[in-house]
Amino acid sequence: MTRPLRSLGFLTIGLFDRDDPRAGHEATLAIIERAERLGFDSAWLRDRHLQYGISSPVAVLAAASQRTHRIRLGTAVIPLGYENPFRLAEDLATVDVLTGGRLEPGFSVGPPGRFDEIAPALYPDTAEHEQFGYERLVRLRRYLAGDRVSPFSGTEGIEAYSERIEPHSPGLVDRLWYGAASPASTTWAAENGFHLLTSSVVQSVNSTDFDTEQYEQIRLYRERHPDGERARVSQGLVVVPTDSATPEQRERYRAYAESRRGRVGIPHGPRGFLFAEDLVGTSEQIADRLLSTRSFPEVDEVAFALPFDFAPDDYVQILEDMAGALAPILGWTPPASSVRA
């Protein structure tokens, strides 16, 4: 049974120029504002370190919180190996307060990328002692839930102290996502009550067919999650509708997808990851492709990924076609409060 699309979201890396980073960050904020006017339910930021994409999504979402009113703001994902859970909990709770409860944080665990090279800068005194497993995320969730982190609360002189992370934002702990790509991480996310972010990358387990593996991932998640079929799953594929694109844009989009087609159907790396095919075409064509899969009919939330290195005008066109043409075909209804740009 196909689930009508209930929640329309998009995901961006927030690309910027090394010599002019402000322009790229401002462009990302403008896209989020535009998406809210188009009726999008959520906007998600990737997290990139030592690259030319957003390295501090929480800070960018703090800015977005002051430029938007309704759209939910998510991270997909924050790799916790770079983070101190105590400080990150403070930042997340602060942004959630600023958004009025619209933050949807997503996480992953594991060692930071290229860790041997950056360990002296990231953890100069503790690198060999740092633990990068699930416990780090469990600790963060405890802090967001308001668990005690200090034995002292009260007044000392003129200073008032709390025993928990402040500010505390009730409800935030129930909006935490996990970016899983393997059966093991999917099972952990389900059994520990996290919502599931499934993307354009999954582990090859029984086949080299991406759709089959993603379908099995979603079914495994719902079988293991206490909420069963009601458990939240968001799918994040690269989807590029071309309805209102110029001929030049259409050609460039197709060339982009073709340049990446060779990686499809082939397990990559020691863990055998599979990549989804990028979907480029009219909204009717893309909808037909999505609805013919096994995995898409299993979800009612999406965070369609924008290609990394397109121009701001390209993103505007893609978002307008997503909200104006593609999503309605998939059963989505924009919120009554949205105003078309």
How far is Cα 341 from Cα 23, in angstroms, rounded to an integer?
A: 21
Q: Which residues contact 145 (CB under 8 A, 6 or more apart)?
A: 173
Total domains present in the chain: 1
Residue numbers of the domain that contains 11: 7-109+171-329
Q: In percent, how much of the chain has pLDDT > 90? A: 97
Averaged confidence pLDDT in the chain: 97
Give the per-residue pLDDT at 307: 96
**Residue 310 is part of a domain; what is its CATH number?**
3.20.20.30
| Residue 90 belongs to a domain | yes
pLDDT at 218 over 70: yes
Nearest to residue 237, comparing CAs of 177, 274, 279, 205?
279
What pLDDT score does 1 carry? Answer: 63
Q: Which helix (H) or strand (E) holds 300?
A: none
Establish if 227 belongs to a structural domain: yes
- Note whether residue 255 is domain-resident: yes
pLDDT at 341 over 90: no
| 30 inside domain | yes
Residue-level pLDDT at 141: 98
Residue 259 forms part of a structural domain: yes
Whether 115 maps to a domain, the answer reads no
Owner of token pair 């037909």: 288
**Is 338 within the bounds of a domain?**
no
> DSSP state, 255?
H
Q: How confident is the model at residue 16 (pLDDT cuts 50, 70, 90)?
A: very high
Report if residue 76 sits inside a domain. Answer: yes
Task: Tell me how far apart the alpha carbons of residues 177 and 189 are, in angstroms, rounded to a whole number.
Answer: 8
Is the confidence at residue 177, as pLDDT, over 80?
yes
Question: For residues 137 and 131, what is the distance between their CA atoms, to the nearest angstrom?
Answer: 11
